[in-house]
Structure formats: structure tokens, C-alpha cells
Structure 1
Amino acid sequence: MPVLAPDWTDTAACRTTPYRWLATAPGRLYGEDTAAELAATFPQDDYVRLDATGAGRDKTYRNYSRPLLGPGRDVPAGLPALWRGLVVDLAGEPYRRQVAALLDQPVAAAVEIRLVRHADTDWLGPHTDRADKLFSHVLYFNPGWQVGWGGCLEILDGDDPTAVHDRVVPQLGASALLVRSDRSWHQVGAVTAGRGRERRSLVLHGLR
């Protein structure tokens, strides 16, 4: 049975400034019960600690990452059934065609998917993604997440990290979809220390 709602897209909700992007509210991609089960069974194993800091880098970040799907990589056999269904839906042609119509792009040839966990003070610096990507779609699995806990996706007017145009709170069931371009600057604010909460997400890239 499909996990994604067939009518989750809404062209009218797509924003065009500072570039083409949209945020979907909880309940739009899938129902509340589905979101709760995905959060409760969010995979915990097989992550790699990534720490890319220092001057001279194109992108700085610190997080835990686990690839799920991509060129040369099949869906892991050990995923919970609902998670496997979600990954299959996100890799399918119907989803890729929906995104292409929504963002006014060619249909992605393939997708790569990974899970990401941001612990205390983890962040992702300003960047625009690689040129081989058409779009990024980030799904969130954080019950009760509050703005004061940090970890918001920040849409930027340029490469200045203080030039925040809008924010997406990583609440359970919400998502953000961003077209890739040379001006699609965005970042993830640092998770506030001492809250005892991880920011958990699925990150999908549509590939040319």
C-alpha cells in the first residue's frame, strides 16, 4: 500500500522568492498516524558521524548520516515495513513526475536518499547543493519540535547566513522541497544544546 498521499502536491503553495521552493504542513504528505509510526520506528543504526568544519570548504556541517538509496545502492533489507514503503514511494516515477510538475523541471532520472540525525549544536552551513541535483526534499520526524530548539531549515537570500528569508520548523510530518539553482542558498540552524533532542530527517535529492 502506498505511504505517500496521492494528492500531496499543491502548485498554489509553491513560492518563487528568493527561488522556487515550498513547505508542506504536517498531514499533507501522509496522515498523522503514519507520521507517528515513522517517527517511532526511525532507524537508529548504521550512521556515520560527519564533521566538515574549517575555512575554505564549500559547505560546512556536522551530523550523523546513513545512506538508504542511490545509484548502485538498493533499499536496505532491514528497514521497517513502513519505512521500506516510504522509500519505494519516493524512488518511484509517480513521485518524481509530481515533483517535476510542481517545480517546473525535467523528471529526475533517479533519487538518492539518506537519513540524517543532528545532535546538540550540530548544523549545516549555507550552500546551494551540487549541480548534478534537480531538487532536494527534506522530510521531518520530530514530535513536538519547538522553534527554540533550533534546527530549523533556513531559506536564505544569498550566501550570507544572517540573510534569512524564511524558516521551516522540523515538525513531525512536515517537509520542505527546494529547487536546485545557483541562488538556492539554504542552511540548517544549530540544534540548541541541553534540550536532549535529536533533529531527525530524511533527505532526498533528485538527480539529473
Structure 2
Amino acid sequence: METLVLILDLIGTFVFALSGAMMGVRRRLDLFGVLVLSFAAASAGGMTRDVLIGATPVAALSDWRYPSISLAAGLVTFLWSPWIERLSNPVRMFDALGLAVFAVAGTQKALAFGLAPPMAAAMGMLTGIGGGIARDVLLAQVPLVLRAELYAIAALAGAAVVAVGHWLQWPALPCVLAGAGLCFGLRMMALRYGWHLPVALQSGGDGEPPGPMR
């Protein structure tokens, strides 16, 4: 189980690092800025999770593989961004994949540290959304999780599959794969069809009826 969590964490680190680095390239940051974004996007969620569950020192700082993978992904993106851009909407695809992997890996690690399934699922969601929040804050924009189509909900759904499977004592690997698939599928379907939660209404300033806040 420790090996499974480690593999998922490293995969999620690489994918989220690519997402953060691509955002930096699109904003025309220099090499240092791209590497900072790649590390922040790849590590912030896992670091927050580790602090909250008592897994200290946090893996992103105590295990050389995490910063090495995130910085390598940032360097690859900086050097070969035109090729990566040829992929279909690469930032959102990498972000959705990282969200799915981190959500199930974070849940699995929280369960291994003795958290109850509901709280473990919450930790999984936090692991998935934390890196994206850090990336967007560094870029001075509203975090994607607060404005995107089924972002945190998709992470929570995938994490819940792992948590429920653990509670029912089902095999871990099928639950992890099912949870990651559900999260990724929900996120991509939401992007394709515009699924989102209800938004707040604001009243018109000139007597017009309230409209959705965009």
C-alpha cells in the first residue's frame, strides 16, 4: 500500500508540475518563474495534507524525488512548450489528470495514517485542489476551484470511492483506479458540456432583474 501511494503521488506530482509550468509559459514567465509554478502546483496540496495528518516532515521536502520530478517537469515544459501545446488543451487535461491522481493518493495516505473514511476523503480532495489554488494565487487570478466546472466536486467524488471501498474492505487497487477514473471523467465531461454548480445572483443596478454572476 505504501508503494501504491508513493507511485500515485509521484505521478500526480509530475502531471501537476506540467500544468503549473504550462501556465507559467503562457504568462511568459522566465525559467525561474516557470520552475516556481511547477513546484507550487505539484507540492502545495500534498504538503498541506501531510501537515494536517501529521506526516511530518512533509514528503515534498524530505524526499528528493518530489522536488526533482516537479523541477524536471518544469524544465521540460520550458524547453519544449511548443510541442506540448499541440496536445488538445494541455493545461486543463494535465490539471484534470493531476486532480484525479492526487485525490485518490491523498485519500489513501490519509487512510493509512488512521483517519476515518469521511475525513480521509476530505484530505484527498484537499490534496487534489491545493496545488491548483497555489498556482492560481501566484498568478494573481481567482483559483480555478472557485470558478470552474465541477472541480472540487470531482475530486471529492473520486476520493469518496476510495474511502467507501476502504470502509467496505474492498481491494485497494480497483477502488483507486475507479476513483481516479470517476474524478477524471467528471472533470473532462464538465469541461466538455459546461456542467457547474449554481452561481450566486446579483441584482441589476438599473432596475433590471437579477442575473447570474459570472
- The alignment's TM-score, normalised by the length of structure 1, stands at 0.28
Higher share of residues assigned helix: 2
Of structures 1 and 2, the larger Rg is shown by 2
- The alignment's TM-score, normalised by the length of structure 2, stands at 0.28
Higher share of residues assigned strand: 1
